[in-house]
Structure formats: C-alpha cells, structure tokens
Amino acid sequence: MRLVFAGTPAVAIPTLQLLAARHEIVAVVTRPDAPLGRKRILTPSPVAAAAAELGIAVIKTARLDDDATGRIAALRADLGVIVAYGGIVREPLLSTPAHGWINLHFSMLPQWRGAAPVQRALIAGDAELGVSVFQLVAQLDAGDVFAARTVAMPAEATADAALSILADDGAQLTADVVDAISDGSAVAVPQVGEVSLAPKLVLEDGLIDWAESFADIFGRYRGVTPEPGAHTTVDGSRLKILAASPAADDAPKLAPGEIVGTKASVLIGTATVPLDVTRVQPAGKGAMSAGDWWRGQREHENLKAGS
C-alpha cells in the first residue's frame, strides 16, 4: 500500500521502520525542527531523522492546515498512519487517503483518550497497560478499533520506559492492521466500556503529597517521570525526584514527609511505607545522588519533605 505516515517523537519510530519494510511510504509528516539543548540548536524531530535515514520525503508542518492538506492529497496515498504526531487531523484531510487514517494509541480504548494515556494510567495505578489501533474520526480517540492488546510491564517502569515497550508492541500491531486493510480482511468494531480522559500533564501533576499512600505516590512518580517530573519542597526549596523505588522490607516506619538519610539514598515517609529516593535535583543545581544531597544539608533533625 501507498502510505503517508505522521509522527514526531521517538516512540513513533518503530512503527515507521516496520511499515517501511512492508509497504511504500510516500511521505512522512512531522513537526518542524525545534530548539534543543543548552545552545538551543534547531534540530529535526526524531521521526524526521529516521525518515531521512530511510530515504523518505519529509513534510514538516506545525499544523495540518489547507496547505499541508493539499500537499498530502497530491501524494494519492491509500492510507494514512499516525503515531504521536502532535496535531489534530480534521476534514477534509481525514478522508483524503482512500482508506482514511488509522492511529496507534497507547491505551486500551476507550480508557485514557487524550494526549497522555500512559502517564495517566500509571498515576491512576492501573495494573495493566495496552495499545489500540483505531480508525481516526473527528471526535477525540473515539473511532472504531481494529485491534488492541494488553502489554506486560515491569512493576517499576516509569512513563518513558513504559512508552518504549508499548512502542515496539504497538508497531507490530499497527503493521498487522495495515496488512489486513491491504488484503481486505480488516474489521473495526465500536469502542465499548467506560471512557476516561488523559489530558496533557502539567507541572502540578508532579507535586508529591506525602500524606498519600506509597502506592499512590509511587504511581505518580512513575507517571510523571521524566516529564514534568516528580517534585516536593524541603525547607521551602523545590527538590526534583529523579529516581526512586520501593524501600526495603526492613525500612523504618516514618511519618509522612519525614526524611532519613542512608549511604546512597534518602527514605521519605508516606502514609504507609517509605519511598527510597536515590537521585534528586535541587533547585538551581544539577542532578546528584540523594545521599550526596542529604550530606550537604546543614540540619537533618527537622528536615521534612513538603515543608
């Protein structure tokens, strides 16, 4: 099939590569180059770089407007495939390819429709994650589903690690759906079940409330890592939590927000068992081990997270 592929971040690359091996991709649509790093150097998106390596033409656009629609329509693609492009596909572009567009979404639809399905699922403490491939329609993530499956996930996987795993599984699922559309065997069914929404994360989503249980706090840490990041305040200063894990079984019982230092980490009390924090970033400073941060504090006795 003649495909047009739309995507921007690295999680879209496995799908692009697998489809390129099976079908003709006539163009890749991606977001424009963006400033990156301390020197703010304009850098192509990960998908743009991957497309260049594959020798595929790239269309860079911040909006799928009339100009972009005209350029895509001229390609006469059979099907559009979208994975985390970062923009909305509207009519007439929705129906421009012969078979419309399909979308790889990182949840078991209709759960977690929106921009941050994996992050919201982890914050909510969902026991399993998944991927869905559906027909794109005007309503947000509401189209009929061609295929979906749950994906096993390590118990301590943060959002970036979980997305990487889902990207590989989702690539295979998407390629199988494209093959089925190509040979006429694809069947899509309406979404069934309770709808939940997954809006984009904001900085406040990473704020830790130490009065919550360990399970709730660790779920939030997993969901907001690496962006926007889990954080708290200590003695009025913001402290970003970069790496954390469940404390050992013999860890002491601590009051919510109480901090105890160890050689390499700090334990912070929750409503249940402590969180073992191994890497942090104080405000205005670089990342460091939590043990080094602890040893750099002038006073330990009254130090409390959330203060």
In angstroms, rounded to a whole number, what is the distance separating the alpha carbons of residues 171 and 177? 10
pLDDT in 10s for each residue of the chain, 307 residues: 999 999 999 999 999 999 999 999 999 999 999 998 888 899 999 999 999 999 999 999 999 999 999 999 999 999 999 999 999 999 999 999 999 999 999 999 999 999 999 999 999 999 899 999 999 999 999 999 999 999 989 999 999 999 999 999 999 999 999 999 999 999 999 999 999 999 999 999 999 999 999 999 999 999 999 999 999 999 999 999 999 999 999 999 999 999 999 889 999 999 999 999 999 999 999 999 999 999 998 888 788 999 7
In angstroms, rounded to a whole number, what is the distance separating the alpha carbons of residues 101 and 177? 12
- Assign domain 2-183 to a CATH class: alpha beta
* 107 is an annotated ligand-binding site residue: yes
| Residue 175 in tokens | 């390629």
Q: Which of 108, 109, 156, 114 is nearest to 128 (CA)?
A: 108
pTM of the model: 0.95
In angstroms, rounded to a whole number, what is the distance separating the alpha carbons of residues 1 and 184? 12
Domain ranges of the chain: 2-183, 203-295
pLDDT of residue 241: 99
Residue 247 half-sphere exposure, CB side, CA atoms within 13 Å?
A: 25
Q: Which of 201, 199, 217 is nearest to 257 (CA)?
A: 217
In angstroms, rounded to a whole number, what is the distance separating the alpha carbons of residues 209 and 232? 8
pLDDT of residue 127: 86
* 110 is an annotated ligand-binding site residue: yes
The strands making up 2-7's β-sheet, listed across from edge to edge, are: 58-60, 24-30, 2-7, 79-83, 101-105, 129-135, 145-151
pLDDT of residue 298: 80
**Spacing of C-alpha 29 from chain mean position:** 20
* 153 is an annotated ligand-binding site residue: no
Q: Which of 107, 100, 91, 104 is nearest to 194 (CA)?
A: 107
pLDDT of residue 263: 86
Q: Give the per-residue SS3 of 85-148.
A: CCCCCCCCHHHCCCCCEEEEECCCCCCCECCCHHHHHHHHCCCCEEEEEEECCCCCCCCCEEEE
pLDDT of residue 162: 98
* 35 is an annotated ligand-binding site residue: no
pLDDT of residue 299: 81
CATH code: domain 203-295 is: 3.10.25.10
